[in-house]
Structure 1
Amino acid sequence: MRPLYPLILFALFTLAACGGEEREPAVIDDRIGGAEEPAPEAQPEDAVPVVEEVITGLNTPWEVVFAPDGRVFITERPGRILVVESGAVRAEPYAELDVDEVGEGGQLGLALDPAFGENGYLYTYYTAPDGEGGLVNRISRLVDEGGSATEDRVLLEAPAYSIHNGGRVAFGPDGKLYATLGDVGEEGLAQERDTLAGKIVRLNPDGSVPEDNPFPGSHVYNEGHRNPQGLAWHPETGELYAPEHGPTGHDELNWIRPGENYGWPEVAGAGGEPEYRDPVIESGAETWAPSGAAFATGGPFANNLFFTGLRGSALYRVALSADDPSRVEEFEPLLEGEHGRLRTVVEGPDGALYVLTSNTDGRGDPREGDDRLLRVTFEDE
C-alpha cells in the first residue's frame, strides 16, 4: 500500500514550487567550466571550500551537464532543459517535454551520450501522464538538431508516483546507461524483480538489455532500493556508488554490485543480514536526504566522493579506502546550512565542483536569487 500523506501534500508542494513571480535565470559568473588558471593546490588538511554563485533565478533545477562543445545544460522540474551558451542562459529552452511536476516528479535527470559530439544524443528521465489518469517514469532519448533538442524515442517506462521516483541517469565507464528508480511509495516493489520500481537499471544506449546484465533478459542491475538519486564511478577503480534516501534517518551510501540486493524494505541502513548488502555508510538517526553524487578527479580531495543533502543542507565528502571499496576512511559535511537544500553535484571541465540548490521545490525556504548554480573550489585556509 502506498502511504496516504503524499496524496495530501504533493499538491501543496507543487503550488509552493510554482508560486511567486516568474524568474529569468541569469548568469552572473561566465567562467562556467572554463579552462582558467586553477586555484593554488591546497593540502587536504588545510583545504576549505570557496563558493561562487554562477547562475541565479533557476526554477526547481535538478541536473546540470557539461557538453564537450562548451554548452551547459540544466534541467528544471516543470519540464524545461535550459542551455547556457556564450556566457548567458538562452531565453528559449533547449528542450521542453510534456511532464507532470507532481510531488517529487517532473523533469529530472539528464546524461549526454559518450559520442554526443558525433550523434547529438542526450538521455533524460522524466515523470509524465500515462494517458489513463496515472503517471509513468520515462527514460527517453533526445537528439540535438539546430541547437535545440527534440524527443527521438522512449527507451524505457517504469512505475511513477508523487514520491520516490529516483531519477538519475548516467553513463558508466562501460558505455552503458544506468538509471536509479525509486519504490514509488510501494515498499514491496523493491523486492519484486518483475517491476522496475526500487531498482537500479542498466541499458544499452538504444534501450535494449545488455547481454551481461546479471538477470538475463532484464534491465534490472540490482534491487532492494527505496529511493536512490545519485550515481558516481570511482575515477581509478571504476566502482559504482549510489546515495539513497532512507525512511526516517538511515540514509545510505551504497557500493553498487551487479545482481545484489540492498535490502529495502526488509532492512533500512546497515542490518547485518547476510542476504542483503549493507551500505558503506549510513546516517543513523540523522537525515541527509542525499541526492546527486560525483567524484573529484583532482585537487586536494582527488578520488573523494561528494554527495548533496536536501534535508541535511550540506555537501558531504567521503574518502574511501584505496584497498577496500566498502570502507570509509573519512566523512565530513561541508557548507552546512549555508545555501539551503542541495540537489546535485558534478565536476566541471575546470576541475571545480558545481552544485545546484533546491530551495524552490516546495520543501525549502527560498532566498532572493534562488535557485542557484554554485561553483565550489578548495583553497588553503
Structure 2
Amino acid sequence: MLKRLTWILVLTLVLRASIAFGQLPPGFGLEVVVGNANVPVALASVPDGRLFYAELLTGSVRVVRDGRLIPEPFITLPIATAFNERGDPRGLGILGLAAHPDFSTNGLMYVLYTPSPEEVVVAHFKDRDGIGVEETDILRQPGNGGMHNGGRLRFSSDGTLLITRGDNGMQQLAQDPDALQGKIMRVNPDGSIPDDNPDPESPIFASGIRNSFGIAVHPVTGAAFFSDNGPTTDDEINLLVPAGNYGWPRCVGACNLSDPLLKDPLISFTPTICPVGMDFYTGNTFPEQYRGDLFFASCKTLTGGVHRIKLVPPLFDRVGIQEDFFEGGLGGVLDVKTSADGSLYFSTFDTIFRIVPPDPDVTAGLRGTVTDLDFEGNTTPIVGAVAVLRKKNERTTLFKLKTLTDEAGVYVFTGVPDGEYRVVVKKDGLEKARVTVDLMVGETTTSNIRMSISP
C-alpha cells in the first residue's frame, strides 16, 4: 500500500496554482507546515487548534501548534516495522490516530499500533500539557507481519469507535465471521461491544474488506464512508452499513451477484489509485462549492494526490461529482484532515501541507437557482444537478469548477477570479442549459436558470 518517496521536495514559500506537480483549482496554494517529517501516516485535529500526526516508522506522535512543530513528541511507542524487497515500508508501526469526541474535557487521543509483527493494539493516552500519559489498552488483536493490517480509527456520530482491519494477506478471513481480519469493527470508547452491533457479542460491524486505510463520517447524516484497496483493479470508496458485506475476495468493484447481502461500492477506480486517508471538509475558509465534500488521499508514488467527492443531497448516499483536486508530483499522499480553524491539511511521505484557500477579497462569486419549467409554466427546484463554471479563451478551457444544486435547487460558486464565464447545467449526464455571465471582484452575481429535465 505504501510507496517509498524517492525524491525530496523542498518548499519554503506558499505555492500557487501554477505549481508544476499538478494544477490546483484557481486561487488555491500550498503551505509547508512540517518538512522532513518521517512518514506522517495519520493526522488528527483537536478543538484547541493543534494538529497531531503519527510517524509510521518511529513510534512517535508529534504535535503542531500555531503552525510550528513542538520539539518533544506527544508519545513514542515501541513498535515493529517491516519493509518489502524494494525497501518500501509495509503496514507495521503506528497506523491510526483519532481524538475522542470529548477531547476538550478528557484529553484522550487514540492510537492503533503494532508492538510486534503478530499483534495490533488500540490504546488511548491522556493529554497532559502536550505529553501523552496514562496509556490504556482497549483492544489487543492478532496481526500477520506487515501485510494488510489496515488500521484507521474514526469516531462515529454516536460516539462509538470505528476500526478498519485488512485481511492480513489471508483472503478467506475477510468472509470468516469468527476472524477480525478483513472487517470494520465498532466498539465503545472503552473497547466494549455496543449492544446494537449486528452481533452484540462481536465487535464486527462489516466484512468482506481487503485493506481499508481510510474512513470518515458525514457531517450531516452521520454515515461513515471508507476506502478499500483493490488487488490490481477496483479500488473503492464505500458507504458503511451495519452487517454490510463488501465482497472480498468473492468479487471486487461492483459484484453483480444475486446475493442481496453484498454491497457495491459508491465508486471504484481502475487503474488503481491507492485511496487512503479521508475527511469531510467542515470548515468555512474554502469556497462554498467545496464545503461538506469528501476529500481523500491517494498514495501512488507518481500519481498520488488529493481527490474530491460531492455527494448528492438530501440523502448524501450517491456520488454526484468525483474529480482530482490535484494529482501527481508529491510522491503519494497518505492522509487528509480538516482542522478546528477550518484549514485542510494533508501529508505525504515526508511533508505536511496546509491547503491555502483563495483570498475572498480579490475574488468573485456566483449563485442561482436551477428550476424545472413544466408544460403548464410551473417551476420546481432541481436537486442534485451538476453546475459547471467554465472559463475559456478563444481556443481552450482554462479551468472549470463543479458543484451540485442543493435541496432548494441552489448552486453557489465563491472564491472565483473575475472575468467572463460559461455556466453549464447537467442532469443525469446530459447538458440541459447554458448561460454566459460576467463576474466582478467583490461581487456575487445572480444567475437563475430554468430548464426542462425531460429528454
Structure 2 contact 46–339 (Cα < 8 Å) conserved: no
Offset at residue 248 of structure 1 (A): 0.9
SS in structure 1 opposite 2:327? coil
Equivalents in 2 of 1:123, 1:291: separation in Å? 19
Equivalents in 2 of 1:247, 1:231: separation in Å? 19
Equivalents in 1 of 2:314, 2:67: separation in Å? 43
Structure 1 contact 140–151 (Cα < 8 Å) conserved: no
Equivalents in 1 of 2:152, 2:262: separation in Å? 23
Offset at residue 80 of structure 1 (A): 0.4
Structure 2 contact 228–235 (Cα < 8 Å) conserved: yes
C-alpha change, 1:224 and 1:79, in structure 2 (3 Å) is same
Structure 1 contact 199–220 (Cα < 8 Å) conserved: yes
Aligned-residue RMSD, C-alpha: 2.6
Deviations 1:244-296 (A, max 9, x none): 11111210000000111111000111112233100000003x11101011112
Match of 1:307, as an amino acid? Answer: F
SS in structure 1 opposite 2:177? coil
SS in structure 1 opposite 2:105? helix
How do 1:1-381 and structure 2 match up within 5 A? Answer: 49-77=28-56, 78-85=58-65, 87-102=67-82, 103-129=90-116, 134-150=117-133, 152-160=135-143, 161-273=145-257, 274=259, 275-284=261-270, 286-297=271-282, 298=284, 299-311=288-300, 312-358=303-349, 370-377=350-357, 379-381=415-417
Match of 2:320, as an amino acid? Answer: E
Structure 1 contact 47–300 (Cα < 8 Å) conserved: no
Equivalents in 2 of 1:374, 1:121: separation in Å? 25
Equivalents in 1 of 2:335, 2:66: separation in Å? 23
Offset at residue 47 of structure 1 (A): 5.5
Provide the TM-score with structure 2 as the length reference. 0.68
Structure 2 contact 49–341 (Cα < 8 Å) conserved: no
Equivalents in 1 of 2:112, 2:102: separation in Å? 19
SS in structure 1 opposite 2:138? strand
Unpaired stretches in structure 2, ≥5 consecutive residues: 15-24, 83-89, 359-414, 418-455
Unpaired stretches in structure 1, ≥5 consecutive residues: 1-5, 31-45, 359-369
C-alpha change, 1:240 and 1:48, in structure 2 (3 Å) is farther
Identity of aligned residues (%): 35
Provide the TM-score with structure 1 as the length reference. 0.81
Offset at residue 86 of structure 1 (A): 5.0
Match of 1:354, as an amino acid? Answer: Y
Equivalents in 2 of 1:144, 1:164: separation in Å? 30
Which fold has the larger relative contact order, with Cα–Cα distance below 8 Å and residues 6 or more apart in sequence?
1
Deviations 1:133-190 (A, max 9, x none): x421111111223431035221112232212111111111101111111111111111
Look up the match of 2:392.
none
Q: Which has the greater radius of gyration? A: 2
Q: Aligned pair count?
A: 333
